[in-house]
Every structure is written in C-alpha cells, then in structure tokens.
Amino acid sequence: MTMFKVKAILTDIEGTTSSISFVRDVLFPYAAQHLSMFIRTNAQDPAVAAQIRAVAQEAGVAENDYEAIISTLFQWIAEHRKATPLKALQGMLWEHGYKNRDYSAHVYEDAVKQLRAWHAAGIPLFVYSSGSIQAQKLFFAYSEFGDMTPLFSEYFDTTSGAKQEAASYQCIAEAIHILPENILFLSDIAAELDAAKAAGMQTCWLVRPQDSAADNAAIANSPHPAVHSFSEIATSLV
C-alpha cells in the first residue's frame, strides 16, 4: 500500500482508470469508420465547422476541401497524433455511439471503487486526458458502471497543454486553486508522470499487466511509486 497526503487527485483515463484495449479496439475504429460521412454530413454544423476550420489552418488546406480535411484527419490518426481538432471530432462521433448504445465505456472495477471512496471522503477528483473534455464526460457518463460524472469536479484536455510538459500541470494546479505539491497525479505513462513531478505534483504509476509495456528494471528505477491497482493507493487529506 502506497500512502499519499493530498488535497486533490488528478487522473489519466486510458491505461489508468480504463483499459487501453477499449479505446484502441472499440472507440478509435468506430470513429474511423464513421469519420468521412460525419464530416460531409455535418460540415455546416457550427461545432463541426469550427473543428474543420482548425484542421484546415493547421494543415494549410482550404476549409471547403473536405477530401483534404478527411485525408489530413486519417493521416493524424495513422501518426497517433493528439491534435486537438481531431480529438474534438472523435468526441462528437463517440457521443453518437454512446447515446445509440453501440458500446459502454470500460472502467476497471478497482478504479470505480476507489474513485467512489475518495469522492465520499471529500477528496476532489479531476481528469486530465488527451481526449477532448467532451469525450471524457461521455466516457464516464456511459461507463459499464453507470454514470460516473458526479464523481469528478472538472476535466482537462490538451487545451491546457501537452501531457508531457510540466507547464500543463502547473496550468491545471492554478485552474483548480490547489498547490501542485498537494495534488496526486495518476497515469500509466512515465513521461507524463515526469512532467507532473517536474511541476511539483505527487505521482503514482499505474502499471497494469494487461496494458503496460514497462519492464521490471524501469519500474524499480523509477522516481514514481508504482502500483498495479487503485486498491493499492492509500490517501489522507492534508
């Protein structure tokens, strides 16, 4: 059991609260399958048009060149690029899938139990993911365990900065008005934990056997305490 004294907890989603395979094998293919038709059908919708405009500006193509827009989006997907407009459009597509009950979001049972316990204990919970805020809210609203959104105080995405940059975590600490040293950040990605630690946050590395590629040497030599489950994390309020 690893103990932390905190005023708030900030958590990643993919590979941390939830299986990487759900995002990789369910959400991403669903968005890719419906992306082209979604762009062409909804291009005049103000929310969609704003993201098309952002793609066009970043890619240097015309806003009304939908073939170029779609090609750019698929290129970003192939490159695993965490571009904000791509994430926003994926979030819109996932909303349709959730509301249509095409799938429910996977969340580890140990994460659900511990998140509920922390919330009941009065510890504010926050989410920071590369997926859009909209996608995060949908994920927890349509989880296999029902609507989990009441557990979380606020959500953050790449509009707060890249997840591997210390400034992003400083920005989040300022936004929630809590000193970084009183925030615990949970993630399965060592580089994200490094950035959070550089910003002054406490860190905990979720190393789930089914998701993590980290070897024993990396774990043993890491400056971040490592656990296999949320049940191994103990906290107390500062």
Domain ranges in the chain? 2-18+105-237, 23-99
pLDDT at 217: 72
117 closest CA partner among 204, 4, 230: 230
- Which CATH code is given to the segment(s) 23-99? 1.10.720
199 closest CA partner among 180, 182, 183: 180
pLDDT at 147: 98
What phi, psi does 213 have (nearest 5°)?
A: -105, 5
**Digit-coded pLDDT (tens) for 147-173:** 999 999 999 999 999 999 999 999 999
**Digit-coded pLDDT (tens) for 175-233:** 999 999 999 999 999 999 999 999 999 999 999 887 666 667 777 789 999 999 999 99
pLDDT at 219: 78
Q: Is the pLDDT of residue 48 over 90?
A: yes
Superfamily of domain 2-18+105-237: HAD superfamily/HAD-like (3.40.50.1000)
pLDDT at 132: 86
Q: State which H helix or E strand residue 97 sits in.
A: helix 84-99
Average pLDDT of span 141-146: 97
CB distance 188 to 163 below 8 Å: no
pLDDT at 23: 86
pLDDT band at 1 (very low <50, low <70, confident <90, very high): confident
**Digit-coded pLDDT (tens) for 69-97:** 999 999 999 998 889 899 899 989 999 89
Distances (CA, A) of 67 to 29, 33, 91, 227: 19, 15, 20, 45
Average pLDDT of span 18-30: 92
Quick check: do 2-18+105-237 and 23-99 share a fold?
Answer: no
194 exposure class (CB count in 10 Å sphere: 0-12, 13-18, 19+): middle
Q: What's the full length of the chain, in residues?
A: 238
pLDDT band at 124 (very low <50, low <70, confident <90, very high): very high
CA distance 125 to 108: 17
CB distance 152 to 140 below 8 Å: yes
